[in-house]
Amino acid sequence: MERIDGVKVFSASTHADRQMLGERVTEWRRDHQKLAIVDCDVVQSSDSEFHCITVVMFWAARD
């Protein structure tokens, strides 16, 4: 099993926020280039009114 030092979660439920989710993830990655992404999960959930997308990034500090 690979070492995991932390988790970063991005979530969006409104249409406008979902449209910008990729840009938010890209900006965070650009600002944290010293972190290695160990794994990433994308989860979508819905109810009768809202659709939520969540990106979960598991990271490790590079030695």
Tell whether the model's pLDDT for residue 3 goes beyond 70: yes
Q: Is 11 part of any domain?
A: yes
Q: How far apart are CA 52 and CA 11, in angstroms?
A: 7
Higher pLDDT, 50 or 17: 17
Question: What is the pTM assigned to this prediction?
Answer: 0.86
- Kindly state the average pLDDT of the residues 15-31: 96
- Kindly state the average pLDDT of the residues 8-26: 95
Q: Is 1 part of any domain?
A: no
Tell whether the model's pLDDT for residue 22 goes beyond 70: yes
For 34-47, letters b (16+ CB in 10 Å) and e give: ebeebeeeeeeeee
Q: Is 49 part of any domain?
A: yes
Structural domain range at position 50:
6-61
Label residue 19 by pLDDT band (50, 70, 90).
Answer: very high
Number of domains making up the chain: 1
